[in-house]
Structure 1
Amino acid sequence: MSTDKVDPQSGEKPSYRKDSDHSDISRTEVENNRLTQDTALDEGQRKRLEASTRLENPLAGFTPEQLGQRGEDYCKRHGITDEQDIRAFRLGAMIAGNMNKYDTVEGLTDREKDVLDREITHKWSNPTMLYAIITICSLCAAVQGMDETVVNGAQIFYKVQFGIGDPNSQRDSWLVGLVNAAPYIASALIGCWLTEPLNKKFGRRGTVFISCFISAAACFWQAFTNTWWHMFIARFALGFGIGPKSATTPILAAECSPPKLRGALVMQWQMWTAFGILFGYVADLVFYEVPDHGIDGLNWRLMMGSALIPAVFVVALVYFTPESPRWYLTKDRHAEAYKSILQLRYEKVQAARDLFYMDALLQIEQEAMQIQQSKFKEIFTIRRNRNAAIASEIVMYMQQFCGVNAIAYYSTQIFIDSDFSEKAALGASLGFGAVNFLFAIPAFYTIDTFGRRKLLLTTFPLMSLFLFYTGFSFYIPSGTARIANVALGIYLFGVVYSPGEGPVPFTYSAEAYPLYIRPFGMSLATATTWFFNAVVSITWPALVQAWTNAGAFSWYAAWNLVGWVLVLLFLPETKEKTLEELDAVFDVPLRSIMRYGIAQAGYFWGHIILRRKMRSPTVPTSANTIEYTKAQFTKEKHHDPSARV
């Protein structure tokens, strides 16, 4: 499908072109046909589908005059009386309702046209306050990364001091894993599920403030522990900050960002988490040789406490930035929402356009929420949602069972086992952090260029290969060769993980669910990844003790092959898909998705490997979806009546 227009809020290409002069093809008319044809839906499902469809463009079907009047009415309803503001809402509503074609709207100044044009031609040109919010979100991500990795170096010291460092003791290996996993257990069982009530009560800024305050306090607490169970309690408390922070920060970035930058700015979470992981390794190395000075274990205490530094910056600065305008709308505080978004856009007409569109979306979301019943039931009883949940849970599960966090949390001990000295092992861990961060940067390009499915199908076999390589390197006799090969295998694993299974899970989960059920779906997805994170953290020391490093690495190498099969059979592509297209992609029998995966594997083997002439398999879509093709677009553009649906 090809079109030259872009949705004003999602930044995505619309499914259907609606030409203001001659086309009778409209998204609403096509979807009405779809709903009429789909007799299998009950009344509740039909209403939910219709509401989800309207969320793609809630202003479709209104004339420019009607849109302008709706903009003025919005001002009257919410006490916005300034003439310049009323003008901005009138023009902004007209632009939003015409798929952002501002050049067709009369009354804009040259300055306003220039700013609207620069949204497309210079999308990184935005007010300083927007980048202040993104800086706060990036610091939150760095907090997350440091929370995860400072323990990597600290545990080689505190486990001895706490009496749980015997490498031959099964009890000690499980306790080390349990202490390491404590925050992720808390996140999966409690923290992630606090996200919605905290956001509802305190807003996005408030939730970020509370979660980072908890993180800072817990990091400080960890530095003063003196037994393994005391450390477990402090780290368990850390999970109350990790859960809400990991879910809320991307939401804050998304709700404040302009459409053209939304994807890139939300992706900052993954990149700066990788940076925090890197900085955690730096802290481990910096404090390694600090003497006790009368305090037992001062070096590891400084390592554990250092993670509070970015959290303190967030706590100190977050309230100097505006709250999410969308959160104000949910509280019916429209004037405050307007003041907030004015700080994030150059011109009033931009702010009015985006706020008016947000409000229109919110009204339909609330309508959808009134229609739905049990959120849990909605996910598993409706095929479209169920298929999305299966795909989302697969990528979230595999983000942990690909083995990356076994390396992230235990790399220092892994390198020590491969004959590195302690300090050299910390340096080698720092190298893994650097690889993880640097190769996360290309994900900005690859995730939307190659697609989520293709990235995973390419990188899972490579991750498996490099983990097998790392594991079997432990069979090399002690010496430089073993050290070099273990490090090489781990670094190559990081190279292919960072642009693949690193950024894909959160991105995929956020877009797979329909909007009306997305918050619950994301809570489920986030809880899944933190739960299995805890499983990996707990079991790795015991796994190494039972199977040796070679066996433990081979275990996760095998899981990467399982992940490849699961992606092949159950994961539809979501790249550059609009809401309607995603409905079509997911609302098909699961066996059709599986058959496509098998056919795709056959095509790859026959056409790419054996060089045979073969027709590529057709992506399965809902039979009730009218597809708008490039050929139809070309005919319609040239006023060919036969192109019309």
Structure 2
Amino acid sequence: MPNEAASRGYRDRFAAQARSRRANDGAVIENPLATDVRIFAENHLPDVPYDRVLRAARVAKDIRLYDEIARRTRIDGSHLPVRLTDREKDALCREKDVTFSEKGMRIVIATVSLAALLQGRVLCFPLLDEIYYRFVQSSFNGASLYASVWKLRLEEGGDGVPLDVWLLGAANASPWFFAALVGCPLSLPINYWFGRRGAIAVAAFLILASSIGAIFVSDWKQMFGVRVVNGLGMGIKAVSTPILASETAVGFWRGSAILAWQLWVAFGIMAGFAFNMIFSQARDEQMILRLIQGAPLVPSLALLVLSLGFCPESPRYHLMKGPNYSVQKAYEVLKRVRNTELQALRDLYMVHKALEQERVGVSWDPHVSMSPGFFWVIRDFLSQYGQLFRRRRLYNALLSACTVNLAQQLCGGETHVLLSNWG
């Protein structure tokens, strides 16, 4: 019986092919790519001519071939389905040869760099001022020199460590503790509802508010609360900013875009210590402390304005299932961050197909832009953390990342950044 069913299936398929050949008088061969592109263009990009989308998809399919055509003028590409213009050839060459050659990537890199600098500035004010992460980190480092303003006495005497030293340590550790345990996980739902740019704006606002609050604190309890808010902002920002850089950069330079984070974190630490030294010339300790703790206010305000007013959203975010799903918006973003329409349509189609393979049928789901609700979203994010331990590939990456980050905390560099004002 199974053999008969299989034979019947083959006969039906061959009969259908025969009928198709008799009906196809023009001997037109169906092209799967052209068909898929036509459906994609008609459903999601009605204002863009189908031929342009197909042209970009063909370049994406044979990207190495067209890269060679763009680089070697002696090669005749007239026989290929896509004939590149001189401007397109130059753009394809520059996107690999020139770092961040895309016009719109400059504002993204500026946003990432400012966020990283703010991270470093917070670190520069030891212990009591470690709330503001790198630029903020420097702020934490320096503020610990003025613990007496928070009604803490650190004189050593008797056996053991005085209670006030532990209280100072709690205030200094609170931003990192809450950034790791609350801020970073909280970035997932915030990114889902507000996007990468919105998450950066939320983080900048939290850091701005905590910087203003830190100016007026009078005891360690108030400082502890202010630093909790700052830690939430630092955790959200530390997760969202590298994602924005990686999702907007050309694949060839994606690693360099993310490395800009570490470069400017280090610069922020240096700048933070320099400002600490300048602020130390103020007339009294109260003024010095306020200047140190309020210093992250300026870069956080600049980051808030930059993220809301100028920085583009991640195109990949607009192609993912959620309340802000919009292929048209993703296309508009890519036109801003790419030099030619060909590159924008190419990357749009490639990201679309990649996400379609991860989530089959998402692009054709009529409810793709509807949010399933807060509790469902939180449950979904919790399940993502579970995959870190269930999937071997992710588990190996998790172990590697944890090992590297733990080694960084145990090295001498972190001691200089966080404890350099002691001793």
TM-score normalised to the size of structure 2? Answer: 0.76
CA deviation vs aligned residue, 1:397-444 (integer Å, no higher than 9, x gap): 22212243232111022xxx3xxxxxxxxxxxxxxxxxxxxxxxxxxx
Partners of 2:56 and 2:194 lie apart in 1 by 29
Alignment-mate amino acid for residue 108 of structure 2: I
Cα drift, residue 367 of structure 1? 4.2
Partners of 2:358 and 2:38 lie apart in 1 by 22
Residues 114 and 376 from structure 1, CA distance in 2 versus in 1: closer, same or farther, beyond 3 angstroms? closer
Partners of 2:58 and 2:156 lie apart in 1 by 69
Residues 250 and 160 from structure 1, CA distance in 2 versus in 1: closer, same or farther, beyond 3 angstroms? same
CA deviation vs aligned residue, 1:138-166 (integer Å, no higher than 9, x gap): 10111111111112122111345522332
Cα drift, residue 332 of structure 1? 2.8
Q: 1:92 aligns with which of 56, 62, 65?
A: 56
Cα drift, residue 216 of structure 1? 1.0
Partners of 1:400 and 1:193 lie apart in 2 by 21
Instruction: Please show how residues 290-309 of structure 1 align to structure 2 within 5 Å.
Output: 290-292=282-284, 297-309=286-298
Partners of 2:186 and 2:336 lie apart in 1 by 29
Q: 1:137 aligns with which of 109, 112, 127?
A: 112
Is the aligned partner of 1:203 residue 2:195? yes
Q: Which residue of 2 aligns with 1:115?
A: 91
Q: 2:102 aligns with which of 118, 126, 130?
A: 126
Partners of 2:332 and 2:384 lie apart in 1 by 34
Partners of 1:87 and 1:347 lie apart in 2 by 16
CA contact (8 A) 1:152 1:408 kept: yes
CA contact (8 A) 1:70 1:90 kept: no
Q: How many residues align?
A: 345
Is the aligned partner of 1:356 residue 2:349? yes
Cα drift, residue 203 of structure 1? 0.6
Q: Which residue of 1 aligns with 2:140?
A: 151
Cα drift, residue 81 of structure 1? 2.4
CA contact (8 A) 1:211 1:242 kept: yes
Is the aligned partner of 1:342 residue 2:335? yes
Q: Which residue of 1 aligns with 2:312?
A: 322
Alignment-mate amino acid for residue 387 of structure 2: E
Residues 243 and 124 from structure 1, CA distance in 2 versus in 1: closer, same or farther, beyond 3 angstroms? closer
Cα drift, residue 67 of structure 1? 2.7
Instruction: Please show how residues 239-638 of structure 1 align to structure 2 within 5 Å.
Output: 239-292=231-284, 297-319=286-308, 320-330=310-320, 331-367=324-360, 374-413=383-422, 417=423
Partners of 2:38 and 2:398 lie apart in 1 by 41
CA deviation vs aligned residue, 1:305-334 (integer Å, no higher than 9, x gap): 001111100111212222111111124301
Cα drift, residue 368 of structure 1? 11
Partners of 1:74 and 1:226 lie apart in 2 by 60
Residues 159 and 260 from structure 1, CA distance in 2 versus in 1: closer, same or farther, beyond 3 angstroms? farther
Q: Secondary structure at the match of 1:120?
A: helix
Q: Which residue of 2 aligns with 1:478?
A: none
Partners of 2:99 and 2:54 lie apart in 1 by 24
Cα drift, residue 220 of structure 1? 1.2
Cα drift, residue 387 of structure 1? 2.9
4+ runs deviating over 4 angstroms: none
Partners of 2:149 and 2:45 lie apart in 1 by 65
Alignment-mate amino acid for residue 407 of structure 2: M
Q: 2:33 aligns with which of 67, 79, 96?
A: 67
Residues 167 and 153 from structure 1, CA distance in 2 versus in 1: closer, same or farther, beyond 3 angstroms? farther
Cα drift, residue 338 of structure 1? 0.5
Cα drift, residue 289 of structure 1? 1.6
Q: Which residue of 1 aligns with 2:72?
A: none
CA contact (8 A) 2:41 2:48 kept: no
CA contact (8 A) 1:325 1:338 kept: yes
Alignment-mate amino acid for residue 200 of structure 2: V
Cα drift, residue 382 of structure 1? 4.0
The unaligned stretches of length 5 or more in structure 1 are 1-62, 418-645
CA contact (8 A) 1:150 1:303 kept: yes
Q: Which residue of 2 aligns with 1:491?
A: none
Residues 196 and 109 from structure 1, CA distance in 2 versus in 1: closer, same or farther, beyond 3 angstroms? same
The unaligned stretches of length 5 or more in structure 2 are 1-28, 70-79, 121-134, 363-380
Cα drift, residue 191 of structure 1? 0.7
Partners of 2:382 and 2:272 lie apart in 1 by 44
Is the aligned partner of 1:81 residue 2:47? yes
Residues 119 and 187 from structure 1, CA distance in 2 versus in 1: closer, same or farther, beyond 3 angstroms? same
Cα drift, residue 100 of structure 1? 4.1
Cα drift, residue 238 of structure 1? 0.5
Q: Which protein has the larger Cα radius of gyration, Structure 1 or Structure 2?
A: 2
Instruction: Please show how residues 29-48 of structure 1 align to structure 2 within 5 Å.
Output: none
Alignment-mate amino acid for residue 334 of structure 1: V
Partners of 1:363 and 1:248 lie apart in 2 by 23
Cα drift, residue 358 of structure 1? 0.7
Cα drift, residue 125 of structure 1? 2.2
Partners of 2:185 and 2:53 lie apart in 1 by 37
Q: Secondary structure at the match of 1:204?
A: helix
Partners of 2:420 and 2:30 lie apart in 1 by 60
CA deviation vs aligned residue, 1:107-151 (integer Å, no higher than 9, x gap): 322221221122233344221x21011101110111111111112
Cα drift, residue 376 of structure 1? 4.4
CA RMSD of aligned residues (A): 2.5
Q: Which residue of 2 aligns with 1:218?
A: 210
CA contact (8 A) 1:291 1:298 kept: yes
Partners of 2:32 and 2:84 lie apart in 1 by 18
CA deviation vs aligned residue, 1:169-225 (integer Å, no higher than 9, x gap): 532222221111111111122111111100001111110001011011101111110
Residues 109 and 264 from structure 1, CA distance in 2 versus in 1: closer, same or farther, beyond 3 angstroms? same
